[in-house]
């Protein structure tokens, strides 16, 4: 089996909500591919999720992917919280609607399609690849 593709994702927001951006660094066979974009009015969590969606959507065929995020919200959500949300009809433990449900559904769909392992990386800590994803997310805001 080929080695997994590595993806670093990040979201950024200036104001929360406010203008936001997402950035993705894909490392495949020693090649680096960058993706980024932005939205005029969004939240940091929405941009973190959008980055993951864009990175995972880049691959049309089922792929073994190792994804790195500095968002505990994204990592914890897709690895543990989502199971209860789906079982409870997209309601939280306190019976409130899950925030960002449409984005969660898309992340879940892609997570099930690909063979994905999720890892957390400390943001703004000198990790080269995470710093690139952060720079791309900020470029996404700058280019709105």
pTM reported for the whole predicted model: 0.96
- To 10 degrees, what angle do helices 44-57 and 101-113 make? 30
**11 tagged catalytic:** yes
**134 tagged catalytic:** yes
pLDDT one-digit tens code per residue, 94-138: 999 999 999 999 999 999 999 999 999 999 899 999 999 999 999
Choosing from 10, 21, 38, 140, the catalytic residue is 10
Mean pLDDT of 24-39: 97
100 exposed, middle or buried (CB, 10 Å; 0-12, 13-18, 19+)? Answer: middle
**142 tagged catalytic:** no
CATH number of 5-142: 3.30.420.10
Domain boundaries, the chain: 5-142
Mean pLDDT of 29-54: 97
**10 tagged catalytic:** yes
pLDDT one-digit tens code per residue, 33-45: 999 999 999 999 9
């Amino acid at each position: 089996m080929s080695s997994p593709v590595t993806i670093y994702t990040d979201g950024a927001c200036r104001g929360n909500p406010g203008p936001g951006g997402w950035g993705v660094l894909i490392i495949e066979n020693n090649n680096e591919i960058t993706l980024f974009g932005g939205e005029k009015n969004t939240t940091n969590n929405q941009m973190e999720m959008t980055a993951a969606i864009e990175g995972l959507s880049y691959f049309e065929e089922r792929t073994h992917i190792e994804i790195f995020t500095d968002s505990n919200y994204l990592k914890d959500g897709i690895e543990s919280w989502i199971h209860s949300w789906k079982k409870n009809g997209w309601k939280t433990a306190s019976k409130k609607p899950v925030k960002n449900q449409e984005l969660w559904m898309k992340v879940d769909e892609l997570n099930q399609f690909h063979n994905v392992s999720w890892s957390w990386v400390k943001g703004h800590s000198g990790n080269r690849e995470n710093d690139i994803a952060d720079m791309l997310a900020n470029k996404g805001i700058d280019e709105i």
